[in-house]
Amino acid sequence: MKTEKPILIVLTSHDRLGDTGEKTGFWAEEFAAPYYALVDAGLKVVLASPAGGQPPIDPKSELPDFQTPATRRLADDETTRARLADTIPLREVWAEDYAGVFYPGGHGPLWDLAHDPVSIALIRDFLAQGKPVAAVCHAPAVLLAVETPDGRPLVEGREVTGFSNAEEAAVGLTEVVPFLLEDELKRRGARYRKSEDWAPFCVTDGLLVTGQNPASSEPTARAFMERLGR
């Protein structure tokens, strides 16, 4: 019987919130909800990050107000937390070894994965092999620098979503982030869509699956699994 290929989850390695002196990283819910959706569906998951090892967790995402069943499960899951502490360096990852890739958000990806050449090439390879690419909240930034084979922006003419300008303003970071995701997606010709602030919302366009905010992480994972044929 053919062995099903695992799913790759790529996390940020960036831990500084601009020049504020505060920490950032990946948002716990945006990792935990998709991760458990995938493993509970019987899929194997491999974790990677640009630097390898322990990716930084945004400390705000571990505050009581932001806890969900998935984050509480992660807090009690020693096996998964040990796996998180030992992610594979992204340079050691090849698209042909995986069925699809999922990028959790948090502010970290705006600084590293948005222009990481290894990640950009990896996304191109996944799509060229007909495999789905999913990203939630700030993580659709990983699509910004990806081009089609004819040199056009990947998102041009595609329906996508991601953390909105209004949501960024609500968390008070409009002047801190290196760019506003909604603006940059539109600038590259994306057909940007959004729902109400903080409401669950995801968009599927071909092999691309994107979610707007933390509340969208589980719906994005379900839509991603549909693209996987699960």
Residue 122 located in a structural domain = yes
Residue 72 CB partners (closer than 8 Å, separation 6+): none
198 assigned to some structural domain: yes
CATH of the domain at 99: 3.40.50.880
Nearby residues of 42 by Cβ (< 8 Å), 6 or more positions away: none
Contact 33, 220 (CB under 8 A): no
pLDDT for 182 equals 98
Per-residue pLDDT of the chain (230 residues; tens, 9 = 90+): 345 899 999 999 999 999 999 999 999 999 999 999 999 999 999 999 999 999 999 999 999 999 999 999 999 999 999 999 999 999 999 999 999 999 999 999 999 999 999 999 999 999 999 999 999 999 999 999 999 999 999 999 999 999 999 999 999 999 999 999 999 999 999 999 999 999 999 999 999 999 999 999 999 999 999 999 88
Tokens 């890739």 sit on residue: 101
CB of 34 closer than 8 Å to CB of 217: yes
- Assess if residue 135 is contained within a domain: yes
Structural domain includes residue 2: no
Does residue 119 lie within any of the structural domains? yes
Count of structural domains within the chain: 1
**What's the pTM?**
0.97
CA distances from 223 to 12, 81, 118, 219 (A): 22, 25, 25, 6
What does the alpha-carbon distance between residue 193 and residue 197 come to, in Å, rounded to a whole number? 12
Distance between CA atoms of residues 204 and 124, nearest Å? 17
Domain of residue 19: give its range.
Answer: 7-227
Identify whether 64 is part of a domain: yes
- Evaluate whether residue 189 is within a structural domain: yes
Residue 1 domain-assigned (yes or no): no
CB 17 within 8 A of CB 24: yes
